[in-house]
A and B are shown apart, each in its own frame.
Chain A
Amino acid sequence: MNTKEFKEKINEKLNDEIQKKNLTKFYEDYPKARQKAFEGYDFEQLRNSVKNIKQNTVDKLEELADKFQKAVEKNGAVFYRAVSDKDVVDYILKLCKEKDVKLVVKSKSMLSEEVELAQHFKEAGIESQETDLGEWIIQIAKHKPSHMVMPAIHLNRQQVADYFEKQLGKNMKPDIEFLVHTARAELREKCLKADLGISGCNIAVAENGAMFILTNEGNGRLTSSLPKTHIVLVGYEKLVESFEDAIPILRILPRNATAQTLTSYVNIILGPSQAIVEHTDGTFSIEKKELHVILVDHGRIEMARDPIFKELYQCIRCSACTNVCPVYALVGGHVFGNIYTGGIGALLNAFIGSSQTANQIQNLCITCGSCTQVCSGSIDIPNLIIEMRKKNIEKEGLPTIPKVVFQNIISNRSLFHNMLKLARLGQKSFKNGQFIRNLPLYFSKYTKDRSLPAIADVPFRDIFDTILQKPAKNQEKIAFFSGCLIDFVYPETGEAVVKSLNALGFSVEFPKDQTCCGTPMYLTGDKESAKKVAMQNLEALESIDPDYIVIACPTGVEMWEKYPQFFRDDPKYLQLAQKYKNRIREYSSFVDEQLNKQNIKLNSLKNNGIATYHDSCHLKRVLGIHTQPRDIIAKAFNTNFVEMEHADQCCGMAGSYSLKFPEISKELGDQKHKSIIKSTANLVYVGCPACMLQIKGLIDKKGGNVKVMHIAQLVNEALKENK
């Protein structure tokens, strides 16, 4: 799919009212239900066990595979290792031929989707029938699954009724119970007649060959029981070493997937059991079943050997990540994914699925971090997505425009800063021109749904020297690292940061040689340019050697914390990067700590009106800072501090993302705007300049008597009369 087609698909999905309704409802319901399901369990401890179990699997992959094979064979099943998708298909088709199979029933298996088994059956003239209701619906609708656990979540009852009508040639009413019972009768017939059953497997135990199959519908039991022959498809990532390793997975998987304690059925298969065989004379006999177990590689071994992406083995396909993903909620799994859906889908597809679409899908991630918080295997999905982008750039190079900007402009500080200053002079005439559009802060289509901020007349770096600071009470020296947005777009925020820190008794310095933190380059995968600016920043700071580096921008904090990664082979810079990593302080948490420690009271700002707070994705989920800014606001506004709905949902600003997918960014923005208006606040505080840019623009374009400010502005104002 080329970019244009992909964009068209995005637009189509954004306008798919049915899918949107279903997904929005789910997105709203899921977190509460999930939380309830985990009551009485320590989620962090559970997922830590899962992580350890799967890391052990990766470390001993070959050993466990061998053990599993031995155990399965000892249990009396036929074992086969498939390297490629073709191996899987060939083996199954050959077996079908030997057994003269006419009808196959399948219970849910992502692996069978991955190797496109249904397509191959069709070509071979073998009837294959999905028995999971959702899978069957999409089978007859000829769709791909749009969700890993609920494959037909994009459809409503009317659509399902229409598909059933077409398939069965009977009249259907759009009544869910009726549709389910129609499916029961239809699928039961097929299960009774089938010669072969195929199922996936959720957990495969190396030490005894046990295979766990979790289903709610009970189709797993029927497909494994009724036909004489049964094939289980097992991906390497399903292996665990010991029988007890299944316990944490049983505890976490159903809770995270569908907020259930346990699926209605868990089948543990330990070998071929019995089958009933009916004879033509009307008699029947009980015979031994034939059980085949196929252990499938198809990119999984390469994945295990990759030092970074082996983390993907920690995925147990619970889809919790997808359920909380704001981008998924907007566009669904046909755009954001391909068989494997959501951010994890983008990653898995690069190894075990369709790698061509994987790149496009990755770009959809706004790296908001919601998924990582709920992931059963503690996978840092956004981080892996950034790693994947890096990998792609190493392979294919950057697209031309960012390349020019990153490698020639931003990584050259004086050129970059001069250009920004020039941009201010020329912003009227340049606003729609190439020049501004190519700067990381200025996005071509960005102006359509929110106003573009103007570059400030005087950047913060030129204002800093004019700020009069009181003599410091504290010995500790603070350096302020502003980042581009505060420096060139919101200098008043910079001013507030410096003045408020000074009011707290610190002297603040602003090393002038500091430059862009490197985030725009890092996010698009251009590590070299990011490294270059990191070196400049480290040198700039080293000239002052401060006790703290205060940053009022969460992505800036994150970037600084990553600096050591860039210099693994460069001891000089590595030492610097590590030294300063420990001295980084995020503004709002630092201020909150100081207020409490020094027992300083904020003046009441109640007369300013009603205040609310928007959680920046990075501030809340990556840095874990969300109580501190609230504490500060409450200190100044008391009962006039109100929470908006979904305060921690992404505002739609995600750096250059807004350039690539302005449509999605717009939807998220619309939702944020609604919550703000509904909250009745006239002041919105944020802890992140990028969110400020987005929300200011939203208010400006869509209306509302609301002022958007950085929390530093609050602190500064509330400390003023304290002097």
Chain B
Amino acid sequence: MTPDPELARKLLHEMVRIRRFEEKSAELYSAGKIRGFLHLYIGEEAVATGVMQALQPEDAVFATYREHGHALARGLSAGAIMAEMYGKVEGCSRGRGGSMHLFDAAAKFYGGNAIVGGGLPLTVGYALAQKMQQRIGLAACFFGEGAIAEGEFHESMNLASLWNVPALFLCENNLYAMGTALERSEADTNLVEKAASYRIAGKSVDGMDVLAVLEAAQQAAQFVRAGNGPYFLEFRTYRFRAHSMFDPELYRSKAEVERWKQRCPIAGFSARAISEEWLTPETITAIEAEVAREIAQAVEFAEAGTWEPVEMLTRNVYTARVQPE
């Protein structure tokens, strides 16, 4: 796939935006501004960026607790996400969710799920409802390869296939589930074949190459939109940082991490974009400046945000009933 300059700029801009946002988040975590768990997406930016480019506004997105990148690429504002991680009421989940529970109804962004595999059955049901109501728009679900060991993955694959629902399953295979390497958790590490065993079509893709991700996601989305049923994509990727902020990383070698860093999706794409003359070095500098501005504004927005009054504590546990006249 050869992108036009506009697309190339867009892809790079989005990946840089995610990278810098995550770096800033790590910094703010150390400063105590963000608390709880913080799972960074650094190294995996090409996946969310490429996939979101292939999705439409009418599609729904379900994600995991490592979802800042997905939320950003889906169009949630950096400010609303940052404010959420500050716990401010201006956050995209009004400060109730934090880093692991970003939501935005308008963007059809259904979170932010911190139970591994928790989004898979929801996706099947959402897609089923799309089909039953004859609506256009598919349901896309991101999950880590660790989720594949859960019963919910297998039960969901079977249902999705049996009911032939418009669901796109997006497995981010970064080789580890916390400290557990894929080959130490799966008797058969061929993930596409697992989907195939439920008669779900699928493909394995280089998740460090944003163009490969985009192309595969476009084809898969087309397949699903055409009513062919669900599709499974495995993205081979790697997280450059620790699982969360408290991970001593005893389970992998520094050399392995370094090897993967050589395949950085942003550095790789930038270099290629220049050599193929899709982008100029000036454009790349401009992107960095633009992103830096956006992130500085996001932090300002979060800092200026307000704390929800404690009296509101039990709000939104139930839906307010409309009082009869």
Tell whether A pairs with B. Answer: no
